Amino acid sequence: MAEIAAEQSIYLNWENIEEMKTYGFSFSSHTKNHAPLGRFSASRHREAEIKDAFEVMRERGQDVDFVSLPFGMKTDYGDSAVSCALAAGHAFVLEVGNGVNYSDTALSSKVLARVALGAVQSKASRLYSAIEVRPLLKSKIKT
């Protein structure tokens, strides 16, 4: 699988990331190996997945305020992953959700719901969200 991915260039490399940053994109951590963190029996594995990715991103000058946990549901990452992420230095953890994050609860829990691009509009609440571009691109490619 890794050979096919490398051959077809389906992953971004650092050159791609730097170019995209010139157009206003930003990149944050997503762990080292994209593993469902809740399945690790030893906390040191969760910590390593999060901390190693944090260090690489920081060394490369990328945003380390946010970490988007793989698969994004609490059943996939567990409470201890949030503690690990905050201890590593991330300010917020992103998870799958409806994208609505109210200031009072989001700032106290440090866990923010992601949203698909354009899915949420609200004047009544202060929203914090990460954008997942893939669903938008898929629909554009199909049309």
In this predicted model, what pLDDT tens digit does every residue of 56-109 receive, in sequence order?
A: 999 998 889 999 888 877 878 888 899 999 999 999 898 877 667 777 777 788
Output the CA–CA distances (angstroms, integers) from residue 16 to 10, 52, 78, in the order listed. 11, 21, 32
Give 68's DSSP letter.
E
Q: What does the pLDDT read at residue 123?
A: 47
Output the CA–CA distances (angstroms, integers) from residue 3 to 11, 15, 92, 140, in the order listed. 12, 20, 33, 28
pLDDT digits (tens, 9 = 90+) for 21-56: 898 888 888 898 888 888 888 889 999 999 999 999
Name the residue with tokens 């992103």.
Answer: 94
Q: Kindly list the domain boundaries of the chain, sorted by start residue.
A: 2-142
Query: 2-142 — its CATH code?
Result: 3.20.20.370
Record the pTM.
Answer: 0.70
